[in-house]
Amino acid sequence: MTGRFAEVRAALVPRLLALVTMTTILHVALFSHLRVFGVIPETLLLVTVLAALETGPNIGVAVGFAAGLAYAVSDLDAPLGVAALLFVLTGWTVGIIRDYAFAGAGRVPFALVIISSVIVTVVHGLLLTTARGATPASLIHVGISAALVPILNCFVAIVLRPIVRVVLGVNWNEAS
Amino acid sequence: MSSNVGNVSDVRRTLRSRSSRSSAGMNSGSSRSGPARPVRSTSSLFFFVLVSATIVVIGSTGPFAGVRAVLSDALSPVRSAGSTLVSPLSNLFDSVGSQQDLIDENLRLREENIDLKSRVALADDAIRQRRELLAMEKLTDITSLPSVVAEVVGGTTSNFDVTVQIDAGSSDGIRPGMPVVAGYGLVGRVTVVTRNSARVRLFTDGSMGVGVRLANSGEVGIIKGAGSGKEMRVNGIDPNTVVVPGELVTTSGLGDSRYPNGLALGRVVRATAASGQLEQEVVMMPFSDLDRVGLVRVLLWVPPDLVPSVPSTTRPPATTLPTGVSITLASGSAPAAVGSGG
């Protein structure tokens, strides 16, 4: 069993890297230009949430870690590791909720996308703005982001969810 | 990709069976019945949290910073290509919504152009006199500063900072802290530099503060960023100072300012002096939509407090970076970074 487990895990690493690389490219090249009232979708957070929703907490934390590092690469001003820490916790929490509370429910994934987007955007925004010296204007922007990111993420999820399923090899019949 | 190895369902089954065994060993009797508890996920959670926390602590100075810079450089072409592909679409949306605005702006600019032509003749002589005075006082003349022209290849990829990325980096002589201008108007300041790119924090970012001077009165104050395209309050203006709408606001360049003096920022929109107040409320509007600047110049000028100390009795004037001198703000490899303020 250990051999089988190691084999599966080794096969999974390239898939996770492919997923996060693909998402980062999509974010940098496309989604970061879709600005609504100065707010863009948090694509790397979204891929963490979707991976956790599709596969559970184990893969959720791994994708969250890789996506957090990718966030730091795409935004050189961001403190290194903060997004990774936050996304790891997000992937695990969403995966656990999915495993125990909502397995198989049709619309729940979108509810979880919205809730997790709000919470993570607020926490991440407060951490970053506090680190740089929070001003009333920056705090207001965190609030605006928390309101808009979930909506934008839901639209992006329509595109990203099939990609997550294909790259991670999720069985469509089982997953839906 | 999915042919010879199990899919994620296999992984889940494998992990769960291991979880059951682990759980039985650690917590006898508790997991014999019902769904397997995700003990494995807890251990992976602890592992990744630990690694992430380690990166947070050592990340900015450790080897990760160098890897990050290299990967970021690798993303630059993607960023540039995306910007090229998407900008026509976003420009189309903008133009549909602001057709009348464009007509009005065109008329206003024509009138302004006539006025400016008459002023240019007077300005030439004033510029010559100013250069002579600056040279006598050993002050920085922004028109004579060496600079590097760079193209803006992308905006921010985050919701929480107001930055742009340019296609010039340390290989072009750019260092953290250098001011970035469009024309002679301030755009922002270089914060992070990699070999072939740099990130510029716009002066409209909420974390930025700039020492300013009102052109007519000479009164100095400070502005704080309020976000892209938004009005900014000028703090510290005496209530007895006469401030008129339309007055030019430039960098003050006083003391250890992070910017040379005389870089244009915007114009005063309104000024209100309420009785009994220690300062009047002066509000300015930045000149242009800084998010949409295409070409910029990085002034090869380093703020005095970032210039390497020179064993001399006289402090150098606001300084251009001498050839061959490098500044290390962060130990380890690139990217070097600088904080905000000033």
Average pLDDT rounded to a whole number, residues B30-41: 45
Distance CA A171, CA B2 (A): 11
Model pLDDT, residue B332: 35
CA-to-CA dists, residue B225 to A116, A125, A136, B271, B280, angstroms = 29, 17, 10, 18, 18
Tell whether the model's pLDDT for residue A11 goes beyond 90.
Answer: no
Distance CA A165, CA A172 (A): 7
Candidate from B44, B68, B163 with C-beta closest to A72: B68
Check CB contact under 8 Å for A9 and B157: no
Model pLDDT, residue B165: 87
Of the listed ranges A69-83, A153-167, B249-263, the one predicted with least confidence: B249-263
Average pLDDT rounded to a whole number, residues B225-245: 83
Q: How far is A108 from chain B (nearest CA, A)?
A: 20
Between these two residues, B120 and B223, which has the higher pLDDT value?
B223
Of the listed ranges A33-47, A74-88, B108-122, the one predicted with least confidence: B108-122
Distance CA B308, CA B313 (A): 14
Count of C-beta atoms within a 10 Å radius of residue B294: 10
A116 pairs with which residues across the strands? none
Distance CA A90, CA B213 (A): 47
Model pLDDT, residue A70: 92
Tell whether the model's pLDDT for residue B92 goes beyond 70.
Answer: no
Model pLDDT, residue B309: 57
Tell whether the model's pLDDT for residue B317 goes beyond 60.
Answer: no
Distance CA A145, CA A40 (A): 8
Nearest to B337 by CA among B105, B100, B124, B60: B60
The percent of residues above 70 in pLDDT, for chain A, comes to 86
Model pLDDT, residue B136: 65
Check CB contact under 8 Å for A80 and B79: no
Considering chain A, what is the average pLDDT of its residues?
A: 84
Model pLDDT, residue B28: 35
- How many CA atoms within 13 Å lie on the side-chain side of B248? 12
- How many CA atoms within 13 Å lie on the side-chain side of B28? 0
Q: How far is B129 from chain A (nearest CA, A)?
A: 41
Between these two residues, A119 and B106, which has the higher pLDDT value?
A119
Model pLDDT, residue B95: 56
Nearest to A91 by CA among A122, A112, A118: A112
- Does A7 lie at the interface with B, CB-CB under 8 angstroms? yes
- Does A33 lie at the interface with B, CB-CB under 8 angstroms? yes
Average pLDDT rounded to a whole number, residues B298-317: 63
Between these two residues, B215 and B37, which has the higher pLDDT value?
B215
Provide the 3-class DSSP secondary structure of residue B276. coil
Average pLDDT rounded to a whole number, residues B258-283: 84
Kindly provide the ipTM of the predicted complex, given to two decimals: 0.83
Q: What is the pLDDT of residues B181-219, one digit of tens each?
A: 887 688 899 988 888 889 998 888 877 888 898 888 888
CA-to-CA dists, residue A113 to A41, A63, B259, B271, angstroms = 12, 15, 43, 45
Q: Which residues of B touch A96 (CB under 8 A)?
A: 38, 41
Check CB contact under 8 Å for A168 and B199: no
Q: What is the pLDDT of residues B123-157, one digit of tens each?
A: 777 777 776 776 665 566 666 778 889 988 877 77
Count of C-beta atoms within a 10 Å radius of residue B48: 24
Considering chain B, what is the average pLDDT of its residues?
A: 72
- Does B131 lie at the interface with A, CB-CB under 8 angstroms? no
Rg over CA atoms, chain B? 27
The answer for B 260-299 residues in CB contact with A (under 8 A) is: none
Kind and range of the H or E element at A123?
helix A108-132
What pTM value is reported for the model?
A: 0.70
Residue B222, judged by CB atoms within 10 A of its CB (0-12, 13-18, 19+), counts as: middle
Model pLDDT, residue B215: 83
DSSP string of A67-94, one letter each residue = HHHHHHHH-TTSPTTHHHHHHHHHHHHH
Candidate from B8, B225, B335 with C-beta closest to A59: B8
